[in-house]
Structure 1
Amino acid sequence: MTQHSHQTAPTQFVDAAGIRFAYRRFGQSGGVPLVFNMHFIGTMDHWDPLVTDGLAAGREVILFNNAGISSTSGEVPASVEEMAANAAAFIEALGLAKVDVLGFSLGGFVAQALTAANPGLVRRLILVGTGPRGGEAMATLTPEAQAAFGASYANPDELWLDVFFTPTEASQAAGRAFLKRFRLRQEGRDPEVTEMVAPAQITAIGKWGASRAGAFDYLREITHPTLVINGSNDVIIYSVNSFILQQNLPNAQLILYPDSNHGSQYQYPALFVGDVTRFLDAVVPFPIQKDADHD
């Protein structure tokens, strides 16, 4: 076990594909590491420490910024596939032959593309608050997302109350607790993203979400054990897209948390950590095809 946590893990750097990637590693070493892929305009410091530290109790956790994000060099790619290629280059630069991959929102697009392009690199896949290529209402930001990201907030962090949580009293209370945890790390905190990030990421999101014939065919080639998790009322990437993922991925299970929006894992961090831990630790999480055993 490393002596570091979400709050104290130092930012390290590794070079790959002409990019200087910023990353942090902490938790229980020796097994298959879990690599986190971040959401729209997020940095390593946008993860919830209850989630990262909770999962790090049983495995090594790796957080990183993709190209052009915060302390990582380069330009933000205008396609998910390029982001996925960068993620693969980063993982390989760390000398890792096999990883588990978690992707949240835009990071979930990247996680899918990474796994599809590099099936031997990935053991198990966790998709949170995300959707398939060409999913429902994914060609542009949803009206709710446009309203949230276009609004003005006295405290900029309160954007995430609208993006991640429902308007109910219980969900908003969970959101306010999350915002306190969100700012716990003070030393060595990542810089916020520049104004160049959002336009490039929106372009990539639009390409991924555009409707097309056979949009879901690629999912049937991802035979890895997969856990899909979302809120019951995700208005950023509509919850139906999680069902579409589960229906088209050959070895996927789906969990929807009640009275929750895009950030359901931050509303129910203990439940989320427990569900993910059971999935990753299971000898066989659920039946898989004989030719698709990635353990």
Structure 2
Amino acid sequence: MTTQYITVNGIQTAYRLYGERSAEPPLFLMQHFTGTMDNWDPLVIEGLARHRQVVIFDNAGVGASHGTTPSNVPEMAQHALSVIEALGLGQVDLLGFSLGSFLAQEIAANQPQSVRRMVLAGGCPQGQGAGDFRKVISEIGGKTPAEILLHLFFTLTANSQQRGKAFLQRLKFRDEAGPNPPSQVFTAQYLAIESWCGQRDAGYALLKRIKHPVLVVQGSNDSMFPTEQSVRLFQHLPNAQLSLYPDAGHASLFQYPSLFVEQVDTFLRKELA
């Protein structure tokens, strides 16, 4: 799929479009810590694009996009919202994975009119998870990129690791290097996650402002943002449903891509009971 560019707030921002515009709102995807457009599973993207337009992008300073990566979640969320507006997408459905789920929460809470429905995968509420995040990131030193993904995204069982290796085989990374040093992206996003997860949110106030229908998806054994944090998302979001995938880690959506696509498609297309 061709990478396109749009200038947003003076920043040349990379994006890709899949599927055709339909009666449904476009589905706008926001990626995980240090992830780029190339880190999305093609089975997930192509499956979701069968019934709607799917938009993926590299946020400011990430991957193929220019600019400097912000070191806080609100600025990342604002740039994502500016991309949505610049592309003329109107009201969208959001899918946020990991760090992307934090951006989705920020957008839905602060610009509710811009969002119809939302999917949060591998996420957690604001004010939780900083210690777990620091611990797992401290364990990846000396590992190759493939080893890091298998370590962070999948459980240690033979079944999960096998599915993780199949996921890696499906990824299609572009050859060209991005304009921003990966070290700047890593450091800025690390600080953003630490800050967002460390900022106490008494009474889950941010979640309670989100009235949209939300599908929360998580693996049974996530070490990065432990599974019980997704349960808390489900409990404190006013209009949420929860799906937990067996023997799955942080990237449950990539371990079970067909199941994930089916559940998200149903959630986006059907009225909640």
- TM-score, scaled relative to structure 2: 0.95
Partners of 1:213 and 1:90 in 2: how far apart? 27
Deviating above 6 A after TM superposition, structure 1's stretches of 4 or more consecutive aligned residues are none
Q: For residue 204 of structure 1, what is the aligned residue in structure 2?
A: 192
Partners of 2:72 and 2:203 in 1: how far apart? 16
1:247 aligns with 2:238: no
Q: For residue 5 of structure 1, what is the aligned residue in structure 2?
A: none
1:16 aligns with 2:8: yes
1:43–1:193 Cα contact (<8 Å) kept: no
Partners of 1:113 and 1:45 in 2: how far apart? 24
Q: Can you give the 5+ residue segments of structure 1 that lack an aligned partner in the other structure?
A: 1-8, 287-295
1:231 aligns with 2:219: yes
Q: For residue 67 of structure 1, what is the aligned residue in structure 2?
A: 60
Q: For residue 268 of structure 1, what is the aligned residue in structure 2?
A: 256
Q: For residue 134 of structure 1, what is the aligned residue in structure 2?
A: 127
Deviations 1:67-107 (Å, cap 9, x if unpaired)?
00021111111110111110110000011221000000001
Q: For residue 122 of structure 1, what is the aligned residue in structure 2?
A: 115
In structure 2, do the counterparts of structure 1 residues 69 and 19 end up closer, same or farther at CA, with 3 Å as the change threshold? same
* Greater mean alpha carbon deviation, residues 250-259 or residues 214-223: 214-223
Matched pairs, number: 271
1:51 aligns with 2:44: yes
Partners of 1:193 and 1:58 in 2: how far apart? 36
In structure 2, do the counterparts of structure 1 residues 239 and 190 end up closer, same or farther at CA, with 3 Å as the change threshold? farther
In structure 2, do the counterparts of structure 1 residues 140 and 80 end up closer, same or farther at CA, with 3 Å as the change threshold? farther
> By how many angstroms is 1:211 displaced?
4.8
1:130–1:237 Cα contact (<8 Å) kept: yes
1:104–1:128 Cα contact (<8 Å) kept: yes
1:233–1:261 Cα contact (<8 Å) kept: yes
> By how many angstroms is 1:18 displaced?
2.0
> By how many angstroms is 1:213 displaced?
5.1
> By how many angstroms is 1:26 displaced?
1.2
1:13–1:22 Cα contact (<8 Å) kept: yes
> By how many angstroms is 1:193 displaced?
5.8
Deviations 1:198-249 (Å, cap 9, x if unpaired)?
1111111011111525161111110000000000000011111101111110
1:140–1:209 Cα contact (<8 Å) kept: no
Question: 1:172 is matched with which residue: 161, 164, 167?
Answer: 161
Q: Can you give the 5+ residue segments of structure 2 that lack an aligned partner in the other structure?
A: none
Identity of aligned pairs, percent?
44
> By how many angstroms is 1:150 displaced?
2.1
> By how many angstroms is 1:142 displaced?
4.2
Partners of 1:78 and 1:205 in 2: how far apart? 8
SS at match of 1:195: helix
In structure 2, do the counterparts of structure 1 residues 193 and 216 end up closer, same or farther at CA, with 3 Å as the change threshold? farther
Partners of 1:215 and 1:181 in 2: how far apart? 41
SS at match of 1:96: coil
Match for 1:259: what amino acid? D
1:43–1:190 Cα contact (<8 Å) kept: no
2:132–2:225 Cα contact (<8 Å) kept: no
1:27–1:57 Cα contact (<8 Å) kept: yes
In structure 2, do the counterparts of structure 1 residues 266 and 193 end up closer, same or farther at CA, with 3 Å as the change threshold? farther
Match for 1:104: what amino acid? F
1:38 aligns with 2:31: yes
1:150 aligns with 2:141: yes
> By how many angstroms is 1:182 displaced?
1.1
Deviations 1:34-72 (Å, cap 9, x if unpaired)?
000000011000000000001011111100011000211
* Greater mean alpha carbon deviation, residues 188-197 or residues 94-103: 188-197
